Amino acid sequence: MNAIASFAAVPDSESSPGVWQLAWRRLRGDRVAMVALAVVAAYAALVVASLVGLVAADWTREVGVPYANPRFLGPTVDESVKIERPSGPRVDLSAVDPLAPRYAEWDARAAQIQSVSAPHLSTLTFGGDRLGRDVIAKAIKGTQVSILVGVFAALLATAIGTALGAVAGYFGGVAGDLMEWFYNVFTAVPGILLIFAFAAVFGRGTATVVLILALTGWTAVYRLVRAEYLKHRGREYVLAAEAIGASHFSRMFEHILPNVSHVVLVQLSLLVVFFIKAEVILSFLGLGVPIDSVSWGTMLNEAQSELILGKWWQLAAATAFMAVFVTAFSTLTDALRDALDPRLRQG
Amino acid sequence: MTTSSTAQDGGVAAPLLAVRDLRVSFRLGKSKPFEAVRGVSFEIAPRSTVALVGESGSGKSVSAMSIVRLLPDNAIVDAASRAEFGGVDLLHAPLDQVRALRGRDISFVFQEPQSSLNPVFTVGDQVAEALRLHTKLTRSRARARAEELFSEVGIPQPRDRMNAYPHELSGGQQQRVMIAAAIACEPRLLIADEPTTALDVTVQRQIIELLRGLQQRYAMSILFISHDLGLVGEFADAVVVMREGQVRERGSTVGIFGAPQDPYTRSLIACRPRLDQRPRRLPTIEDFLAAGGEQTAEPAPRPLRPNHGPQLIEAAGLRKQYRLKTGLLRRRTIEAVRDASFTLERGRTLGVVGESGSGKTTLGLLLMRLVEATAGQVRFDGEDVLRMKREPLMKFRRRVQVIFQNPYASLNPRFTIGQILAEPMRIHAIGADESERNARIAALLDRVGLARASLHKYPHEFSGGQRQRIAIARALSLRPDLLICDESVSALDVSVQANVLNLLLDLQDEFGISYLFISHDLAVVKYMADEILVMNGGDIVERGSAEAIYRDPQHDYTKKLLASIPRGYMPPSHV
Amino acid sequence: MLSYALRRTWQMVPTLAGVVLLVFFLFKWFGGDPATIIAGLGATQQQIEAIRHTLGLDRPWWVQLGIFLREIVTLNWGASWATNEPVAHLFLTRLPATLTVMIPILVLQTVVSIPFGLGVAVVRGSLTDRAAMAITTVALSVSFLVYVLVGQWLFGFYLAWFPIQGWSDSVLTNLIHYAPLPILLAMFVSIAPTTRLYRSFFLDELGHDYVRTARARGASEARVLLRHVMRNATIPILTNIATELPGVVVGSFLIEVFFSIPGLGREILLAVNRSDYPVIQAVTIYLALLTMLINLLADLLYRVVDPRVRLN
């Protein structure tokens, strides 16, 4: 077996980079993108930490006074004003108050009992909401909820859209017509209206929101994937695969899908941002996450009435957490799209 | 860089355009700028045609575009470069001044007329606009003049055509419109960048004749850019040969073709298959560059293969129809292939030649069952191909393979070369185990002349010619009986074509493969094939041995096709 | 043209049928029991049964589907479960308010985004372009809610330049007095994404060969942009407007909620919160029909504007 021997003797030349490696290299050279990536990674860590309960697990506890100020503002004036206790001996009210003889006894007993509940703090790190809950804790928990809803909804929508789009684009014919009919039905109704209709029927709930968003958003992915499959199925490398005897399944998923995946990835990222914003609006309107849960949307809902009272910290916290994440993620998506653009690839 | 000893045409008159030491590079992100043009100099005399010839990547288009500063934003033109036209250095004059020249003194005709014309304006308006940009004609007078120009460039029914949109015209007519707009202001220099490359060869002939006629009438100069030395040899006065951004040789046409000095020029002339010869191997660039410029002796002619061998393919009455919906209920039928019947014997090559829309590609796809036939019968080694079911079809696929035209599209960009070559063997369960398959792959790479280290690389790292070899290796891995070459060398540079054609011939000698060789290029088909089918509009209009077709064409279309082939430079005695 | 229009209209039928089926089965299988909803809390079983019978809910599902279809065709949706207002009347009275706000928004947003998009496309890669892109990215990361909340507080409450909320019966008063703040806020938010989109359209066109030809003929940059590129770019721009048009009718429900504008969007939201099924079903189906009609008109318009599509 001379051939094998000589083959093995050839030094293993460095594997040349594939599309993803080339894209990663290009991304690495983009400093802005790297910063964005770091920010997104930090948020991911935060989400995981919040999910397992490492942080913000006790966000429901009313640790502060209602509308507690942020620490840097100092406690509100009202809190520090105390009504002065009148000095002087205690008046004996036995004549009018039947319980009066026992007050001393009860006072003594009360002094023995330890108070378990901590006193409500007058200021919190970044303030408290109407019930005195820590705004930072709520913001972190809200981050977890909003981001997870957005990501899962995007994943589900992408899965549905890709599967249907691949079938429609590759096979055409009756299956394609059926998919097109589906697509037409779902896009005939304006998106927001469809969401409302689903919401009216399914009600509130985190999983429900994910489902509603996915059922409305798959159409964008479908359209894209179908167009890509239509474009690729006539390409010569697919014809060549058919010529050597590759099956339909092989052609669809081993040959075409890797050439389409970068487009799908960018679309997935766009959907994540879109769904997060949609979830915020739904939760704001009371159609999103359940009452016992918190998201950026519910925080903004509460902020609505707080703003008139001059309490701005919940609005600021929710907005800041959301804006930083969405900016970083959008920037990363744009950079990813540029890095993956085949036109920039050499050769 | 060598210069021919013969003096240039035009004598002592001042040149119309003098390009001196042109250097152009492109900024590409963070890496070093790419040098596209590295010190190019040439002159264009008044009333002459100068051809700028080179293969892809030679920098010929960039050189032409830089004359009028039509380059993209990331282009850098060296400060020392000069392009003198009418006493003004265009490269360093104010942009307004250069813009005033564009379309008026120097005009362009581009390669792809379909995309070069604005799709939302009528062709009449576009030509009128070319006039109104530089003259003070009113709208109606400009349109009237445009109509005159239309008939001058040979567009039938000019008045009706004025109101047509670009997509309603054929490729040839679109190019005539581009030419009309280009000569509208009677320029002194017309720059034509591969104007006929995208057109059929018969249309190409008409456009070339048109340009020659216009040149005489308007006494203008033409800078004709092309990759086809044979084409420009027919009508250019002077030739400039470029390679990789530099001028290899320049001189008069007589000098270049009669006594080419530079090895690259000589290889360009010699590598094209000629109609009147049939050597065993085509000379390649390597032969010329390695031998240090020595012209190797003409190789012996290749013998024809006997045609009484066993029949491999027998096709009868093949037909392919496409039905399109045009109205609510109406349908239109397009017949891509109409009643095709032919045979092919083992070990022989059957050539199929025709222009776009002739049905030649569809024929190949029908044979491979990549497109389902509407009617007809095909027998492969006695078996009925068109009605084969799954299992026999898989066996059939092993025996018939195809090499497509576009080397950039026929390999999956996401697969490594190793994966591409292993896939056919994997599907057909060839080779007992992994190591045996690897051994076969290594042998294949050797056979087609590629490094074994290519295994781990991706297609985008290889040139067009190399990718075609990979495609050949892939087809070869199944040891097919029949190989269909569908325009397999049409997208390659001339110098690379010869390599691939030689490889195909060697493989045929070694393995006894039969070929169905499809191309629009009659010279290449005649070189490769034993027998030829000429197709036009879905019909096979003529068939015969390669020699017979060439020497004694019967059908009018075949005669027209032969007459359109560029013959290269013909010294006066050969008229 | 006529045969094309007819063919397209014919193709709308299966889609409309699909929407009807979707709405019917969605509410039937997943929605709550209408009888219970109408009867309200504290109703007796008898009352619920009586309502079921009146609504025909004890009949087989295909009969119910038939009733549903009849209601659609005769435009008789009955009345809202909550207010007993006829649904058709609801539609007609709420639509003008929505349109008074949404149409100016759509018009202004297009008119402003075109020059912005073109300007940014022309200076692609420069500092201006990158700064503009960065600003729009950040601007888009803030939820629309925040803009409205803060805008309403700032301009309506703090600075008192506009009324915080309100609506009147006169279109003119609305346009001058009550609509400006919501229109301004909505436009402010939508300019960023629209500009980015139009920028990509213009960039696309600038990469085409005909631009090079125009320059080669000696046309000035201004002429190339304003005549050649613009004319081609109007095709995707018009398509984009046509896609957004159906959404206009639903309106920006958020704006209507915040500013208490009695429009269709707010009405739908109220219906969702009250589980007012007839309203939601009716609006869904009619809007679907409207969307299909608008798409058809857009397609016909497309054929007028783009010569390549005209012939088959």
Is the predicted pLDDT of residue C170 greater than 90, yes or no? no
Amino acid B172: pLDDT: 92
Amino acid A344: pLDDT: 40
Amino acid A347: pLDDT: 26
All residues of chain A having their beta carbon less than 8 Å from the beta carbon of residue C27 are 201
Is the predicted pLDDT of residue A224 greater than 90, yes or no? yes
Amino acid A78: pLDDT: 58
| Among C residues 103-142, those touching chain A with beta carbons less than 8 Å apart | 137-138, 140-142
All residues of chain B having their beta carbon less than 8 Å from the beta carbon of residue C208 are 115
Kindly state the average pLDDT of the residues B40-57. 92
Amino acid B296: pLDDT: 54
Confidence label for B298 from pLDDT (cuts 50, 70 and 90): low
Q: How far, CA to CA in Å, does B485 sit from each of A110, B35, B65, C78, C164?
A: 101, 36, 36, 70, 75
Per-residue pLDDT of C231-278, as tens digits, reads 999 999 988 888 888 877 776 788 888 888 888 888 888 888 888 888
Asked if the C-beta of B74 comes within 8 angstroms of chain C's C-beta atoms, the answer is no
Which amino acid would we find at residue C16?
L
Is the predicted pLDDT of residue B8 greater than 60, yes or no? no
Kindly state the average pLDDT of the residues B439-467. 89
Subunits with 3+ Cβ pairs within 8 Å of C are: A, B
Amino acid B329: pLDDT: 65
CB contact under 8 A, C143 and A286: no
Please indicate whether the domains covering B3-105+187-261 and B311-572 agree at the CATH topology level.
yes
Q: Which residue has the higher pLDDT, A76 or C215?
A: C215
Amino acid A180: pLDDT: 92
Amino acid C312: pLDDT: 43
Is the predicted pLDDT of residue A199 greater than 50, yes or no? yes
Domain ranges of chain B: 3-105+187-261, 116-184, 311-572
Q: What is the largest CA-CA distance in chain C?
A: 86
Amino acid B40: pLDDT: 94
Q: Which residue has the higher pLDDT, A72 or B224?
A: B224
Per-residue pLDDT of A243-301, as tens digits, reads 999 999 999 999 999 999 988 999 999 999 999 999 999 999 888 888 888 999 999 99
CB contact under 8 A, B104 and C218: yes
Per-residue pLDDT of B501-513, as tens digits, reads 999 999 998 998 9
All residues of chain B having their beta carbon less than 8 Å from the beta carbon of residue C215 are 70, 102
Per-residue pLDDT of B248-293, as tens digits, reads 999 999 999 888 888 888 888 888 888 777 788 888 777 777 765 5
All residues of chain B having their beta carbon less than 8 Å from the beta carbon of residue C204 are none
Amino acid B367: pLDDT: 92
Amino acid A92: pLDDT: 72
Q: Which fold has domain A36-64+127-340?
A: MetI-like fold (1.10.3720)
Asked if the C-beta of B563 comes within 8 angstroms of chain A's C-beta atoms, the answer is no
Kindly state the average pLDDT of the residues C112-141. 88
**Most B-contacting residue of A244, A262, A343, A344 (CB-CB within 10 A), to test interface:** A244
Instruction: Give C310→chain A minimum CA distance, Å.
Output: 22
* Kind of pairing between the strands at B514-519 and B531-536: unpaired
What percent of chain B stands above pLDDT 70? 94
- Are B482 and B515 in contact by the 8 Å Cβ rule? The answer is yes
Q: Pull the structure tokens for residue A311.
A: 């309490």
CB contact under 8 A, B471 and A242: no
Q: What is the DSSP letter of B40?
A: E
Amino acid B5: pLDDT: 38
Q: What is the DSSP letter of B13?
A: S
Amino acid B2: pLDDT: 47
Following CA atoms B55, B60, B61, B66 in sequence, which dihedral angle do they give, to the nearest 10 degrees? 160
| Among B residues 17-46, those touching chain C with beta carbons less than 8 Å apart | none
**Which chain C residue's Cα is nearest to B167?**
C308
CATH C-level class of B3-105+187-261: alpha beta
Domain ranges of chain A: 36-64+127-340
CATH C-level class of B311-572: alpha beta
Instruction: Give B59→chain C minimum CA distance, Å.
Output: 18
Is the predicted pLDDT of residue A312 greater than 90, yes or no? no
Terminal-to-terminal C-alpha distance of chain B:
32
Confidence label for A329 from pLDDT (cuts 50, 70 and 90): very high
Amino acid B4: pLDDT: 44
Confidence label for B295 from pLDDT (cuts 50, 70 and 90): low
Asked if the C-beta of A231 comes within 8 angstroms of chain B's C-beta atoms, the answer is no
Q: Which of B119, B134, B178 is facing C307, going by the closest CB pair?
A: B119
Asked if the C-beta of B127 comes within 8 angstroms of chain C's C-beta atoms, the answer is no
Amino acid B147: pLDDT: 94
**B208/B172 Cα distance (integer angstroms):** 11
Instruction: Give B410→chain A minimum CA distance, Å.
Output: 4
CB contact under 8 A, B181 and C217: yes
Instruction: Give C190→chain B minimum CA distance, Å.
Output: 29
Is the predicted pLDDT of residue C46 greater than 70, yes or no? yes
Read out DSSP for A226-293?
Answer: HHHHHHHHTSHHHHHHHHTT--HHIIIIIIIHHHHHHHHHHHHHHHHHHHHHHHHHHHHTTSSS-TTS
Asked if the C-beta of B491 comes within 8 angstroms of chain A's C-beta atoms, the answer is no
Asked if the C-beta of B387 comes within 8 angstroms of chain A's C-beta atoms, the answer is no
Q: Which of C15, C253, C273 is facing A184, going by the closest CB pair?
A: C15
Per-residue pLDDT of A130-170, as tens digits, reads 888 888 999 999 999 999 999 999 999 999 999 999 999 99
Confidence label for B179 from pLDDT (cuts 50, 70 and 90): very high
User: Which helix (DSSP H) or strand (DSSP E) does residue B50 occupy?
Assistant: strand B49-53
Q: Three-class SS of residue B81?
A: coil
β-bridge partners, B340? B318
- Are C257 and A286 in contact by the 8 Å Cβ rule? The answer is no
Q: Angle A5-A7-A13 (CA atoms, 0-180°, nearest 5)? A: 140
What is the Rg, in whole angstroms, of the alpha carbon atoms belonging to chain A?
30
Mean pLDDT over all residues of chain B?
Answer: 88
Subunits with 3+ Cβ pairs within 8 Å of B are: A, C
Confidence label for A8 from pLDDT (cuts 50, 70 and 90): very low
**B326/C3 Cα distance (integer angstroms):** 10
Per-residue pLDDT of B339-390, as tens digits, reads 999 999 988 999 999 998 899 999 999 999 999 999 999 999 888 888 888 8
Pairs across A and C, CB distance < 8 A: 113
CB contact under 8 A, A194 and C284: yes
User: Which range (B154-163, C178-187, C206-215) has the least confidence?
Assistant: C178-187
Q: Which of A13, A244, A245 is facing B453, going by the closest CB pair?
A: A13
Amino acid B326: pLDDT: 62
